[in-house]
Structure 1
Amino acid sequence: MGDTVDGLSSKRTVFVTVGTTCFDALVKAVDTLEVKRELSRRGYTHLLIQMGRGTYIPTTSPGEDGSVAVEYFHFSSSIADHLRAASLVISHAGSGSIFETLRLAKPLIVVVNEDLMDNHQSELAEELAERKHLYCAHPQTLPQIIAGLDVESLLPYHPGDATPVAKLINHFLGFPDD
């Protein structure tokens, strides 16, 4: 079901990141048997969870049904390598994590942390989901979002070019054109 190399099934990793905060609701959601079975059914073999300041410890022993293998860590100096190696990313709604994942053209499910006050991050995630660049979920809807996941339907995100704006600002401030 996964990608094959010389007829052998290769590792397909789902990388989960909560950033530097505590988002135990997301870690608990991906640690459910329902989510693990659905990921396994879709050909994912490993679940790597970056859990930040969270205290909930995910189950690492493989399920009786042969579902995905689980590893976790709290922090890393850089998650870039984990993002690059991932086949699917499940992330909190932090703009840095979202745009870094989109820049790498990785399929992305953003899970909104409903415990945050004045959550402007959810607005960003919902807008990008409307534009079909990613999927947006809440911890309780994550199993259904994974079940309906169609990564082929996602559109590539092309960041805007800030050059014209920078030139206009430079012109307004009296700096010479380059």
Structure 2
Amino acid sequence: MDDIDDSIKPERIVFVTVGTTCFDALVKVVDTPEVKRELFNKGYTQLLIQIGRGSYIPTKSSGEGVCLAVDYFTFSSSIADNLRSASLVISHAGSGSIFETLQLRKLLIVVVNEDLMDNHQSELAEELAERKHLFCASPQTLLHTIKALSLDTLAPYHPGDARPVAKLMNRFLGFLED
């Protein structure tokens, strides 16, 4: 009478996004057996990778046996559904991806693309990591960061209220206030 299969695990999705850029170093590192094994050991069941303009194509797998199910795509009109369904997001350091993920209160690892010149995005990622809202890594340190993941060390992100700044700017520019 007991038809429940105890081997079925709930879906726990890792969503990797590079935005509209080419960030093959990130895609390559999440495609390594070591990273996949560590994610699987942490209880994740699926790995969905958005590769953007990159040329590196990750290895797809169905997730049978002792491994993650892996799939990828280049672009989507919106990654909002992917972010919502994810248990863990591994993202490039684009501010849009970072803040959208934080507002959804998702576990976030931001991987800084060290190949970019004048990488101001790293400053944002490092500041938010220092404030304990996310984890920050490079492609070379991602595996270590995944191994060390601890939810206990993170603080929820609360977006600021921009209205006082907008009001001050409007007053400065001579616009009438409502």
Distance 2:76 2:64 in 1: 30
Instruction: Tell me what 2:84 maps to.
Output: 84
Residue 16 of structure 1 deviates from its aligned partner by 0.1
**1:49-82 Cα distance to aligned partner (Å, 9 max, x none):** 0000111111112578612110000000000100
Segments of 5+ residues of structure 1 without an aligned counterpart are 1-5
Q: TM-score when scaled to structure 2?
A: 0.91
Q: How does 1:124-139 map to 2 (within 5 A)?
A: 124-139=124-139
Q: Percent of aligned positions with the same letter in both sequences?
A: 75
RMSD: 1.8
Correspondence for 1:101: 101
Q: CA deviation at 1:119?
A: 0.4
After TM superposition, give the deviation of residue 137 of structure 1 in Å. Answer: 0.3
Alignment TM-score, normalising by the size of structure 1 = 0.91
**Range moving further from structure 2, 116-125 or 163-172:** 163-172
Deviates more, 1:85-94 or 1:149-158: 149-158
**Unaligned 5+ runs, structure 2:** none
Alignment size in residue pairs: 173
Matches within 5 A, 1:153-164: 153-164=153-164
- Distance in 1 (alpha carbons) for counterparts of 2:47 and 2:58: 10
- 2:133 is matched by which residue type in structure 1? H
Q: Distance in 1 between matches of 2:9 and 2:50?
A: 25
SS at match of 2:141: helix
The 5-angstrom pairing of residues 116-127 of structure 1 reads: 116-127=116-127
Partner of 1:66: 66
**How many angstroms apart in 2 are the aligned matches of 1:152 and 1:104?**
18
